[in-house]
Chain A
């Protein structure tokens, strides 16, 4: 490890501009002649649009255009789609309802976009939006997924009878039922996974610019995957063909999944730019973010886990109802299926598993992948169940887990996944030691003397990152491949540009990707630039989500670097009159191994471009491209332990200790990994203690601002004690597993297991607010 190479705690190159306010976000972009858009949104959860009168709005000062869904349809703009086909158990395809970027005859959730106003200023656009008169006829609405499946629930889409989108199964139902019949003990749990609002620091934004002379569109947008945005907007929404559409995702202030998807607003800004003849910018305000960013989670699940007389798991049966909101967002079907139920084996040997998932339309914001995406839901199901089972069986939660751990690899689970490597016992031991698990009873007694209730809980999670390979996901219904691309350009003086299909929206790629190049060629970090986020600069790529940029994105860079290295060695061998097999790269020089003969990196690069003295037949230049398609998912895993103290008078829970022992495989920059774990745990603790999106009976979002939606703050969190054990991933050249989501996946069950330990019963749902914990202390009933 060099001081800037793989494994070094290098400060993030990009932070200088971020912390000095010099980042360049979509809202910082200004195009000559640019105007501003405001959307008129539905105030109703479910209603027919009877009449839209735009006359008064059109007459308002500064108004350039007031456009409706009818006009949008007339121009051939397509409906938004879900890009992952799921088939129900009976073989029928999922029932996708139509989602027009601007609603035409019906609105299905509060915030549904109906009309767009373009005006000289943002204020004028808003003023005019208020003057648009829309006559609605309200319909009965439903926001709860279980109710939406019930008799008498209002029907949202004609395509989906009874609001059921699909009824899907995974695993072997008969074998699981048979296994549960033999069980000596069955633990049964009902689990609700609360709905969350992503709350990226930067709200969504789009700037659409149609250039009439070139018949060409440019879209600046807050995207985690600008190439996918271009592909989908071209292929499905008929905005423009790919060669006439450039999508730029500049600095993006957090995504957490919510900026993967293509939303109505970017499509409408592009279309409206052509329609009005001016570049059109829209930036969401915080209320729009709450109402219209794709929400996360929202599952209702029943679990049955059977154990034999030796406390070995014999079978697991899971039945889940997942709320997908009013429309199917881009990857909404994959999240509660292949990203969820495929992880139901956890870290355990489970011979028989069956998972049934029904997805449902409701009059709420669309729900899609949010940090962890299906894996937090699976982990919460399993790790709550394991803890409850241990309490029912009267055995140590740690030992119940340990005795069921998978210990031999590769391990084929009954739910598709084949785990390649792992060492779950090591993480469990590390976490228990760090947490002084053995000393808990003493701490509990000390807390009791102060009038506090102390509890401890753990969670042993596994997740799957770098979702792949493309052929496999294609066979499961994905509309895209899940590879990544890279291009490495060595300039004539030896500096390097890496063009990547990954997209950084906080991850630190500009630093970690450069560290990889430094490790390979000895070029200083300052001489390596990472280019991303622009479809005109970077070849087709798939973007960043699911902790894939290390495992998949960097692997593509490795492949391109391999090619660069091979050519560089050929050139050096030629210059040094040596055999190319004898050339090694060390400290920024290409050397003949075992001698002092060398050519500096920059001289080799110059030779490649002067082309005065290259090997016979070699093309000038030094630039290579690679596409990398992984052979398997990667499987980060770990053990989290949470210790809480509850104030019984108020119900307030304080996390007094939080230990995370993760196995992320090889690590590029430990500091950045720690930052990811800290942020992930903060979000997980947020879900467990604080956050929850609540719709009232009429479909209004009650938690639509920070006055009512509780974000985690620094004083809600302890100092985390984190460590890593690194079992390299055998599936990719760097041995990386991914670390972006683990914190959010592993922490919620650890927190709830700790609180229920303190309470002495299981009757508690997330978020465990002071009011709920106070009430739970008084109820005392069992789950």
Chain B
């Protein structure tokens, strides 16, 4: 790691002020940024830590409306009793991110802002039709996730919360990369007032995306059997050491089936 200056932000306003120092980066858990800095692949001059801003923490559930503060850890999402009642699929997803150390450090805001193509949360927020709240505006998930590690966030913009209306049914299934255990393909499916949504992480060569084929099949019948014989195109799916586009295309359908089974369980 190169030497770096650490700043602890006391409020969102304070953070926005401090980010103007040098080549600064926001830190929200640091489960991606810190390893990248340790291997000298990332070299910010300053870090502005958002993790101690009280306003950014906590989960609120009001009826079906869920609001999760950006600095809420994966562990807290996984174990929140109110959330468990309205959207257990999101708790289950959070309980399988990384390992216990990661779940106690990593935050939903950090994950969403980083938009790693193999991260779990982006598929959930896209399938839930969530809104990403920042210090400046509110953005629909469909507009927020732009590509590999790319979001609609402006330079000094901070994710403060995510909010969504819990659907009637939701489920997530992922096939982990054997080495990193990140999602090699993960599918989050929901069935709500607005219909069926299915979002795929870990597989798209441009990041998280909604699968038309899976949504069409599940709109007819929200059952795993509806996906028998369905195939998704391998074009625009990632190729790497661990999975070809064809294998990922297969995994999209298989994980979608398992996600639906989880949603119906």
Show the binding face of A for B, using Cβ within 8 Å.
123, 126-127, 287, 649-652, 690, 694, 702-703, 706-711, 769-771, 774-775
Kindly list 11 other residue pairs between chains A and B, CB separation below 8 angstroms, not including A706-B180, A771-B243: A123-B1, A123-B3, A650-B175, A652-B175, A694-B241, A703-B179, A708-B179, A708-B180, A710-B179, A771-B244, A775-B247
Cβ-defined contact, B178 with A769, below 8 A: yes
Cβ-defined contact, B251 with A706, below 8 A: no
Please report the C-alpha to C-alpha distance between residue A127 and residue B1 in the assembled complex, in whole angstroms.
Answer: 10
Contact of B241 among A287, A649, A703, A706 (CB under 8 A): A703
Supposing A127-B2, A650-B251, A774-B250 touch, asked if A707 and B179 sit within 8 A by C-beta, the answer is yes
Please report the C-alpha to C-alpha distance between residue A651 and residue B247 in the assembled complex, in whole angstroms.
Answer: 10
- B251: chain A residues within 8 A (beta carbon): 650
- A126: chain B residues within 8 A (beta carbon): 40
Cβ-defined contact, A706 with B39, below 8 A: no
B101: min CB distance to chain A, Å? 14
B193 at the binding interface (Cβ < 8 Å): no
Cβ-defined contact, A649 with B254, below 8 A: yes
Please report the C-alpha to C-alpha distance between residue A126 and residue B242 in the assembled complex, in whole angstroms.
Answer: 32
Please report the C-alpha to C-alpha distance between residue A287 and residue B242 in the assembled complex, in whole angstroms.
Answer: 20
B222: min CB distance to chain A, Å? 20
B255: min CB distance to chain A, Å? 9
Cβ-defined contact, B2 with A702, below 8 A: no
Contact of A709 among B39, B175, B179, B254 (CB under 8 A): B179
Please report the C-alpha to C-alpha distance between residue A769 and residue B244 in the assembled complex, in whole angstroms.
Answer: 12
Please report the C-alpha to C-alpha distance between residue A652 and residue B178 in the assembled complex, in whole angstroms.
Answer: 10
- A703: chain B residues within 8 A (beta carbon): 179, 241
B246: min CB distance to chain A, Å? 8
Q: How large is the interface on B (under 10, 10 to 19, 20 to 34, 35 or more residues)?
A: 10 to 19
B234: min CB distance to chain A, Å? 13
Instruction: Give the one of B3, B178, B244, B251 with max A CB within 10 A.
Output: B178
Please report the C-alpha to C-alpha distance between residue A774 and residue B253 in the assembled complex, in whole angstroms.
Answer: 14
B178: min CB distance to chain A, Å? 5
Please report the C-alpha to C-alpha distance between residue A558 and residue B3 in the assembled complex, in whole angstroms.
Answer: 55
Give 6 pairs: A residue, B residue, CB < 8 Å, sorted on A: A649-B254, A650-B251, A651-B247, A703-B179, A708-B179, A771-B244
Q: Which positions 217-265 of chain B face chain A at CB distance < 8 Å?
A: 241-244, 247, 250-251, 254
- A711: chain B residues within 8 A (beta carbon): 179
A769: min CB distance to chain B, Å? 6
B207: min CB distance to chain A, Å? 18
B85: min CB distance to chain A, Å? 30
Please report the C-alpha to C-alpha distance between residue A708 and residue B2 in the assembled complex, in whole angstroms.
Answer: 24
**Complex: chain A residue closest to B40, CB-CB:** A126
Cβ-defined contact, B178 with A770, below 8 A: yes
Please report the C-alpha to C-alpha distance between residue A317 and residue B41 in the assembled complex, in whole angstroms.
Answer: 50
Please report the C-alpha to C-alpha distance between residue A287 and residue B247 in the assembled complex, in whole angstroms.
Answer: 29
- A690: chain B residues within 8 A (beta carbon): 178-179
- A775: chain B residues within 8 A (beta carbon): 244, 247
Cβ-defined contact, A771 with B242, below 8 A: yes
Cβ-defined contact, A710 with B178, below 8 A: yes
Cβ-defined contact, B247 with A774, below 8 A: yes
A685: min CB distance to chain B, Å? 13
Please report the C-alpha to C-alpha distance between residue A694 and residue B240 in the assembled complex, in whole angstroms.
Answer: 12
Please report the C-alpha to C-alpha distance between residue A226 and residue B2 in the assembled complex, in whole angstroms.
Answer: 35
- A652: chain B residues within 8 A (beta carbon): 175
- A694: chain B residues within 8 A (beta carbon): 241
Please report the C-alpha to C-alpha distance between residue A651 and residue B175 in the assembled complex, in whole angstroms.
Answer: 11
Report the 3 A-B pairs with minimum CB-CB distance, sorted nearest first: A710-B179, A707-B180, A649-B254
**Complex: chain B residue closest to A123, CB-CB:** B3
**Complex: chain A residue closest to B250, CB-CB:** A774
Please report the C-alpha to C-alpha distance between residue A706 and residue B242 in the assembled complex, in whole angstroms.
Answer: 13
Supposing A127-B2, A769-B242, A771-B242 touch, asked if A287 and B179 sit within 8 A by C-beta, the answer is no
B247: min CB distance to chain A, Å? 5
Please report the C-alpha to C-alpha distance between residue A709 and residue B180 in the assembled complex, in whole angstroms.
Answer: 8
A770: min CB distance to chain B, Å? 7
Cβ-defined contact, A706 with B178, below 8 A: no
- B242: chain A residues within 8 A (beta carbon): 708, 769, 771
Please report the C-alpha to C-alpha distance between residue A694 and residue B178 in the assembled complex, in whole angstroms.
Answer: 15
Please report the C-alpha to C-alpha distance between residue A769 and residue B178 in the assembled complex, in whole angstroms.
Answer: 8
Please report the C-alpha to C-alpha distance between residue A694 and residue B241 in the assembled complex, in whole angstroms.
Answer: 9
- B2: chain A residues within 8 A (beta carbon): 123, 127
- B180: chain A residues within 8 A (beta carbon): 706-708
Please report the C-alpha to C-alpha distance between residue A336 and residue B75 in the assembled complex, in whole angstroms.
Answer: 50
**Complex: chain B residue closest to A702, CB-CB:** B241
Cβ-defined contact, B179 with A706, below 8 A: yes
A62: min CB distance to chain B, Å? 12
A649: min CB distance to chain B, Å? 5
Instruction: Give the one of A694, A708, A709, A771 with max B CB within 10 A.
Output: A771
Supposing A127-B2, A287-B39, A769-B178 touch, asked if A708 and B254 sit within 8 A by C-beta, the answer is no
Please report the C-alpha to C-alpha distance between residue A287 and residue B39 in the assembled complex, in whole angstroms.
Answer: 9
Supposing A127-B2, A707-B180, A710-B178 touch, asked if A650 and B243 sit within 8 A by C-beta, the answer is no
**Complex: chain A residue closest to B3, CB-CB:** A123
**Complex: chain A residue closest to B181, CB-CB:** A713
Please report the C-alpha to C-alpha distance between residue A454 and residue B178 in the assembled complex, in whole angstroms.
Answer: 21
**Complex: chain A residue closest to B179, CB-CB:** A710
Please report the C-alpha to C-alpha distance between residue A708 and residue B118 in the assembled complex, in whole angstroms.
Answer: 14
Please report the C-alpha to C-alpha distance between residue A707 and residue B118 in the assembled complex, in whole angstroms.
Answer: 12
Please report the C-alpha to C-alpha distance between residue A702 and residue B179 in the assembled complex, in whole angstroms.
Answer: 12
**Complex: chain A residue closest to B180, CB-CB:** A707
Please report the C-alpha to C-alpha distance between residue A769 and residue B254 in the assembled complex, in whole angstroms.
Answer: 17
- B175: chain A residues within 8 A (beta carbon): 650, 652, 770
Please report the C-alpha to C-alpha distance between residue A404 and residue B178 in the assembled complex, in whole angstroms.
Answer: 39
Please report the C-alpha to C-alpha distance between residue A690 and residue B176 in the assembled complex, in whole angstroms.
Answer: 13
Q: Which positions 69-89 of chain B face chain A at CB distance < 8 Å?
A: none
**Complex: chain A residue closest to B247, CB-CB:** A771
Please report the C-alpha to C-alpha distance between residue A771 and residue B175 in the assembled complex, in whole angstroms.
Answer: 11
User: Interface digits, B168-183 against A, CB 8 Å rule (1 contact, 0 not)?
Assistant: 0000000100111000
- B39: chain A residues within 8 A (beta carbon): 287
Please report the C-alpha to C-alpha distance between residue A348 and residue B176 in the assembled complex, in whole angstroms.
Answer: 42
**Complex: chain B residue closest to A772, CB-CB:** B247
Please report the C-alpha to C-alpha distance between residue A127 and residue B242 in the assembled complex, in whole angstroms.
Answer: 34
- A771: chain B residues within 8 A (beta carbon): 242-244, 247
- A708: chain B residues within 8 A (beta carbon): 179-180, 241-242
Please report the C-alpha to C-alpha distance between residue A650 and residue B253 in the assembled complex, in whole angstroms.
Answer: 10
- A770: chain B residues within 8 A (beta carbon): 175, 178
Please report the C-alpha to C-alpha distance between residue A363 and residue B254 in the assembled complex, in whole angstroms.
Answer: 40
B133: min CB distance to chain A, Å? 31
Please report the C-alpha to C-alpha distance between residue A123 and residue B38 in the assembled complex, in whole angstroms.
Answer: 11
Cβ-defined contact, A650 with B254, below 8 A: yes
B34: min CB distance to chain A, Å? 15
Please report the C-alpha to C-alpha distance between residue A287 and residue B35 in the assembled complex, in whole angstroms.
Answer: 13
A54: min CB distance to chain B, Å? 20
Please report the C-alpha to C-alpha distance between residue A138 and residue B250 in the assembled complex, in whole angstroms.
Answer: 40
**Complex: chain B residue closest to A774, CB-CB:** B247
**Complex: chain B residue closest to A706, CB-CB:** B179
- B244: chain A residues within 8 A (beta carbon): 771, 775
Please report the C-alpha to C-alpha distance between residue A126 and residue B254 in the assembled complex, in whole angstroms.
Answer: 46
B148: min CB distance to chain A, Å? 15
Q: Which positions 35-65 of chain B face chain A at CB distance < 8 Å?
A: 39-40
Q: Which positions 1-59 of chain B face chain A at CB distance < 8 Å?
A: 1-3, 39-40
- B254: chain A residues within 8 A (beta carbon): 649-650
Please report the C-alpha to C-alpha distance between residue A770 and residue B243 in the assembled complex, in whole angstroms.
Answer: 9
User: Interface digits, B74-115 against A, CB 8 Å rule (1 contact, 0 not)?
Assistant: 000000000000000000000000000000000000000000
A772: min CB distance to chain B, Å? 9
Q: Which positions 122-173 of chain B face chain A at CB distance < 8 Å?
A: none
A291: min CB distance to chain B, Å? 13
Please report the C-alpha to C-alpha distance between residue A334 and residue B21 in the assembled complex, in whole angstroms.
Answer: 59
B40: min CB distance to chain A, Å? 8
Please report the C-alpha to C-alpha distance between residue A775 and residue B249 in the assembled complex, in whole angstroms.
Answer: 13
- B3: chain A residues within 8 A (beta carbon): 123
**Complex: chain B residue closest to A709, CB-CB:** B179
B244: min CB distance to chain A, Å? 7
Please report the C-alpha to C-alpha distance between residue A37 and residue B179 in the assembled complex, in whole angstroms.
Answer: 31
- B250: chain A residues within 8 A (beta carbon): 649-650, 774
